[in-house]
Structure 1
Amino acid sequence: MKRFDVLILGSGLAGQSLALRLADHLQVALVSKRHIEDGASAWAQGGIAAVIDPSDSTAAHYEDTQIAGAQLCDPAATHFVVEHGAAAIQWLREQGVPFTPDSDTAWGMHLTREGGHSHRRIVHVADATGAAVQETLIDRVKRHPNIQIMENHVAVDLIVGHKLGQPEAGCLGAYLLDNDSGHVEAYAAGHTVLATGGAGKVYLYTTNPDTSTGDGIAMAWRAGCRISNMEFIQFHPTCLYHPQAKSFLISEAVRGEGGLLRLPDGTRFMPKHDPRGELAPRDVVARAIDFEMKKRGIDSVFLDISHKSREFLQEHFPTISARCLELGIDISKQPIPVVPAAHYTCGGVQIDLRARTDLPGLYAIGETACSGLHGANRLASNSLLECVVFGESAARDILANRRSAPNSLPAWDESRVSDADEEVVISHNWDELRRFMWDYVGIVRTNKRLERAQHRIKLLMREIDDYYSNFRIGNDLIELRNLVTTADLIVRSALRRKESRGLHFSKDYPQLAERARPTILANPRWPAGLKRWNHPG
């Protein structure tokens, strides 16, 4: 058994920023499913939203977030994040992040605008902000003596006291599978943090990396934590449509800088769907594209920014320009074929303003958490901001409330299992799950589709649980088990919402309810009488 002060599951921006804030005081393990560079944070192109320009205000950022979130954003969490935005950017600058400069402004950084924002407030590094932030922080993480990076390790499950006859002990660590050796070991920690990202891979088409399999959400649910707002899966309107392009995102900033959405004949269509046109929030744009594609039987629509100069495009969108050119698309002369794809999980593990879950000692930050900031639809570029703000909040709470790691934990027992006889079962179940989730639980939903999905999920869960109980586990089985649990939570949440709000659009309930209410799922296996740790404030 290995012991650490803090065990961070996930090595994206949320996990890294937390590790760096803790490592001067505590011994930290930073766990990565693959390599530390492979998380979703590095894929973020647009930037980080924060109030920097004096003509802007946190009140305006708050209001834009609430409008995009269909008035479901938690007021306290939203105020908390937008009011800490400038400090988050300053911290990243202190770490050395090279934000795109603008010598004509007093603050020295170029600000762009994206859909749903009333001001230019997006701080960025050209069109590869996430990659630049990750490169900077990874360098600092690797050089810190108190951070042990554990690559090619995947969390199997959390170790919780109420399953060991210690109901008040909370979370005691996790079992991790070393993908290199194939062995599972217990890792004890005073504090365990879920920073495992989202669940985009539950859908057939997604902008997410292969690691986005809902691991933290599923583990927290099995441990007894509440899960909130899982029906709100954001579909990014503009994923590059090309047979050789897997999950390549065309940034929101392309529309923010004047890109226009067109049909194959060149006709614009967004103005007839929303007066804000291409700068409408993502849910509106994604539904509009979905509507036009289904109505006309077309494979994609087109995003056109060819009216901008080649020099402008090279300066603002070098990554997008280069990738499109590799595929034979010159964006200075041709429109870009785009389709919607699953992009962001707005719901997740319910947390408070200190990033605490229901279990003592267990925190959640980043996309795996539900702070309430995103409501029914995440406003563009609020996600990286949330990672840094709640990374700092979690660090402050951990340092103020230190817990010792347990001296002993039960070892992982695989004495009653054997090697899998047919791994093809896993790949078939994985493919079936992602296809019916895309068909039945996508951008536009009906009760009938959701019930069909729920029926298939129940069958898959029984089959996967049987497989998990009888055979030695591997990475693919762990991820499939987590994906089917996450899919179940998405469908349960969607069936509970009797309205259309934000990212959840139901043909059976097209109207907006009078009052915005979150969907909170409580695991019935939570022990009776056991007090939850999480509370507002």
Structure 2
Amino acid sequence: MSPTPLPRRISTDFLIIGGGIAGYQTAINLLPLGSVTLVSRGSIASGSSYYAQGGLALPWGFNREAVESHVADTLRAGAGFCDEANVRVLIEGAEEAFATLVSLGVPFDRDSGGDFLLTREAAHSRPRIIHAGGDKTGSLIVKTLAQNVHGHERFTFLTPFRLHRLLKGEGSRIVGGLFMGEDEDGWVSIRAGATILATGGFSALFARTTNPPSQVGDATAVASMAGARLERLAFTQFHPTVLDLPGQTPFLLTEALRGEGGHIIDQTGQRILFRYHPDGELAPRDVVSRALWLEARERPEAKIYLSVAHLSGEYLRTRFPQVFFHCLEAGIDLSRDPAPIRPAAHFQMGGVRTDMEGRTDLSGLYAVGEVASTRVHGANRLASNSLLEALVMGHRVAQAIAGERESLLDSLPESGAEEPPSEGWQAPRGEGSLSLEDLKTLLWEKAGIVRTASLVSAGKAQILSALASGKTGEILPQDALLHNALNLARLLFEDLETAPRVGANYFIEDQTVEKAGAVPGPDSGS
């Protein structure tokens, strides 16, 4: 076996891992303090931020009453599992975050008089979501943020690299990361005064997901193996309105379509959600997704649809261009045709535990955005609060680092534990093996929208068996990715056994499933 080549070595003041809204917002706020290196697995289109359609939730009016209303809606959607003090910090930081985006040039939508356009989404008591490009809010925000840092003399961008391990200095302080090239780029070791995770969630570990393929939580697993505490992994949000067409990748149909009066109907054209919640289509996401799960279980052959036929084609093309033309290419004219839908894994309410300055349990390591658990989303995130969290926390983590800058940079060691491993965990080949695709199906079926104790127990046993059946050998990129995914799945199943059964962590009795039939699989209904 040929020796593993030594990595390239880079030194930077601040290392950001992840190239979405959270990562770029943090970079913008750190550049006045020193050099910033941002490492990503791909382009800005490789993360979830780019695909965020709905918009940015704000306490519009920015007065006390507006803040209190937004806080109340967040707490209610979170099923009593939010940290109220943290929610207030988030909502009270919205005005500054929004003003910064406007000053940077994000082209938010306005009416003919120049006033910003607002929409309403599920579980919001009023219109307060601002959007850009109709349904292209995420991509336009991340593009604007990226344009404001690329080309800066203190900014370095590296791609495609995946975090392999965090580097530790004296006293287990995190002093950077060791990265594995996704192509043929070898290894890169980066030492930094502060290391910030902004890598997103892990919903792509589920067989049916709205997330891009990169969102499998490998950096979350690496942080855990370094000693960072993870929490609330049991709380996966499943988005209810995801296009369901045979052989096609799931495509999100923004919640704003329901905010504009869209109906969820069965094959006969009857609205179904008022049977489950008095708010109907505007019920919280966990409620709507469970309702669709129950409908699929009771009537496996039936289809469920989202209808916005009351809206004109001209309006849909302008307000929802991305959704409208995607559906049109699939043969669905939303101005007259209902779109078949089925839920998909969408967002993680839990992750690496942080305070409201992004600090983790490990000195020198911070986390921001979906990868972090700030406890603001509770057991079910309020629609369009995710972009707000990324923006507010990206600013707050930079403020915290600014206050600790001298100690962080002055104590940076000359070198860290930088040697790349020549051997690591290898997945078994052949009988008894578990591929990444197998794992995704397992999570969908045993840790999906509705859980049972027996499903969780069986899922955990399969994960433990797969981990135990691996062996040591020459480290391979695909095995490192699977090993991280299996470890994260193990932690998820352990949390499922003990986490409060509220909101998105919904359990039913085993005999209920036995009487009604099998749990709907990732391909059922397609």
Task: Give the TM-score of the pair, scaled to structure 1.
Answer: 0.89
Aligned-partner residue type, residue 447 of structure 1? A
Match of 2:69 in 1: 60
The equivalent position to 2:19 in structure 1, one of 11, 32, 37, is: 11
The equivalent position to 2:280 in structure 1, one of 259, 277, 282, is: 277
Match of 1:435 in 2: 441
Deviates more, 1:79-88 or 1:403-412: 403-412
Contact 2:28 2:149 in 1 (8 A): yes
Match of 1:487 in 2: 489
Cα distance in 2 for residues equivalent to 1:457 and 1:299: 33
Contact 1:37 1:134 in 2 (8 A): no
The equivalent position to 2:311 in structure 1, one of 308, 324, 342, is: 308
Match of 1:158 in 2: 166
The equivalent position to 1:376 in structure 2, one of 365, 379, 382, is: 379
1:296 aligns with 2:302: no
Contact 1:426 1:477 in 2 (8 A): no
Cα distance in 1 for residues equivalent to 2:354 and 2:287: 28
Instruction: List per-residue Cα deviations over 1:168-195 (Å, max 9, x = no partner).
Output: x511111111223352232111100111
Per-residue deviation, 1:493? 1.0
Instruction: List per-residue Cα deviations over 1:285-312 (Å, max 9, x = no partner).
Output: 0000111111111364100000111122
Aligned pairs for 1:113-124 (under 5 A) are: 113-124=120-131
Cα distance in 2 for residues equivalent to 1:366 and 1:421: 31
Instruction: List per-residue Cα deviations over 1:25-48 (Å, max 9, x = no partner).
Output: 211110111223321100100001
Per-residue deviation, 1:67? 0.5
Match of 1:174 in 2: 177
The equivalent position to 2:83 in structure 1, one of 63, 74, 78, is: 74
Give structure 1 regions of 4+ aligned residues with deviation exceeding 4 angstroms.
415-418, 420-428
Per-residue deviation, 1:104? 4.7
Match of 2:40 in 1: 32
Per-residue deviation, 1:425? 9.2
Per-residue deviation, 1:428? 4.8
Question: In 2 relative to 1, CA 427–197 (structure 1 residues): closer, same or farther, beyond 3 Å?
Answer: farther
Cα distance in 1 for residues equivalent to 2:288 and 2:424: 49
The equivalent position to 1:187 in structure 2, one of 162, 186, 190, is: 190
The equivalent position to 1:408 in structure 2, one of 415, 423, 427, is: 415
DSSP 3-state at the match of 1:189: strand
Contact 1:314 1:321 in 2 (8 A): yes
Cα distance in 1 for residues equivalent to 2:362 and 2:62: 41
1:451 aligns with 2:452: no
Match of 2:321 in 1: 318
Cα distance in 2 for residues equivalent to 1:509 and 1:399: 52
Per-residue deviation, 1:479? 2.5
Cα distance in 1 for residues equivalent to 2:378 and 2:483: 27
Question: In 2 relative to 1, CA 13–441 (structure 1 residues): closer, same or farther, beyond 3 Å?
Answer: same
Question: In 2 relative to 1, CA 222–416 (structure 1 residues): closer, same or farther, beyond 3 Å?
Answer: closer
Q: Could you list the runs of 5+ residues in structure 1 that have no partner in the other structure? A: 511-537
Match of 2:515 in 1: none
Contact 1:5 1:27 in 2 (8 A): yes
Task: Give the TM-score of the pair, scaled to structure 2.
Answer: 0.91
Contact 1:36 1:151 in 2 (8 A): no
Cα distance in 2 for residues equivalent to 1:329 and 1:424: 42
Contact 1:111 1:121 in 2 (8 A): yes
Cα distance in 2 for residues equivalent to 1:472 and 1:221: 20
Aligned-partner residue type, residue 445 of structure 2? D
Aligned pairs for 1:68-467 (under 5 A) are: 68-104=77-113, 108-125=115-132, 126-161=134-169, 166-167=170-171, 169-298=172-301, 300-402=303-405, 403-404=408-409, 405-415=412-422, 428-464=434-470, 466=471
Identity score, percent: 36
Contact 1:85 1:385 in 2 (8 A): yes
Q: Could you list the runs of 5+ residues in structure 2 that have no partner in the other structure? A: 1-8, 512-526
Contact 1:209 1:247 in 2 (8 A): no
Match of 1:533 in 2: none
Deviates more, 1:75-84 or 1:405-414: 405-414
Match of 2:519 in 1: none
Contact 1:64 1:118 in 2 (8 A): yes
Question: In 2 relative to 1, CA 312–36 (structure 1 residues): closer, same or farther, beyond 3 Å?
Answer: closer
Match of 1:518 in 2: none
Per-residue deviation, 1:348? 0.4
DSSP 3-state at the match of 2:415: coil
Number of aligned residue pairs: give it: 497
Instruction: List per-residue Cα deviations over 1:490-513 (Å, max 9, x = no partner).
Output: 21111103x531001111499xxx
Cα distance in 2 for residues equivalent to 1:198 and 1:17: 17
Contact 1:213 1:483 in 2 (8 A): yes
Question: In 2 relative to 1, CA 424–238 (structure 1 residues): closer, same or farther, beyond 3 Å?
Answer: farther
Instruction: List per-residue Cα deviations over 1:425-484 (Å, max 9, x = no partner).
Output: 9995212211111111111111100000000010122234x2xx412231x333222221
Instruction: List per-residue Cα deviations over 1:242-271 (Å, max 9, x = no partner).
Output: 135313100000000000000112111001
Question: In 2 relative to 1, CA 247–154 (structure 1 residues): closer, same or farther, beyond 3 Å?
Answer: same
Match of 2:504 in 1: 503
DSSP 3-state at the match of 2:216: coil
Cα distance in 1 for residues equivalent to 2:103 and 2:148: 12
Question: In 2 relative to 1, CA 159–73 (structure 1 residues): closer, same or farther, beyond 3 Å?
Answer: same
Aligned-partner residue type, residue 59 of structure 1? E
Contact 2:450 2:506 in 1 (8 A): yes
Cα distance in 1 for residues equivalent to 2:400 and 2:432: 40
Cα distance in 2 for residues equivalent to 1:489 and 1:392: 30
Cα distance in 1 for residues equivalent to 2:462 and 2:282: 37
